[in-house]
Amino acid sequence: MSSDEAHYPPVDAVSVGLRGRCPRCGEGAMFDGFLTVKPVCGTCGLDYGFADAGDGPAVFVILIIGFVVLGSALWLEVNYSPALWVHMLLWIPLATLLSLTLLRGLKGLMIALQYRNKAAEGQIDK
């Protein structure tokens, strides 16, 4: 029997993904460091070889943070017209902090959804 066929109670992919937990058992840590995915789950032994988030999390972070920061910067400029240094002092650290905060959670979410939906590389049937 493959290690992926063990019976575990279903877990919510969104909550375990955003918390960086194993998509099968919900207990073990998914990450080894900040963004490096562990080879296997320390609790249930799930092999994370299937996990390939690619550039998806980074694209979503760029779109979400870009919308928030650009919208806020435009609102501030139109309503108050502050100096350029005020924009740099506000938006560069905010964009950096929000990007680093969201990146790990979205990567975990994409890996958990890959596991739940049994996503795999496409194959051509002949």
Assess if residue 81 is contained within a domain: yes
pLDDT at 60: 96
Which pLDDT tens digit goes with each residue over 57-96?
A: 999 999 999 999 999 999 999 999 999 999 999 999 999 9
Task: Give the predicted TM-score (pTM) of the model.
Answer: 0.85
Assess if residue 35 is contained within a domain: yes
Assess if residue 111 is contained within a domain: yes
Assess if residue 125 is contained within a domain: no
Q: How many structural domains comprise the chain?
A: 1
Assess if residue 122 is contained within a domain: no
Which pLDDT tens digit goes with each residue over 9-59?
A: 889 999 999 999 999 999 999 999 999 999 999 999 999 999 988 899 999
Structural domain span for residue 39: 3-116
The model's confidence at residue 120, banded by pLDDT at 50, 70 and 90, is: confident
* pLDDT of 5 strictly over 90: no
Both tokens of 58, joined, read 């980074």
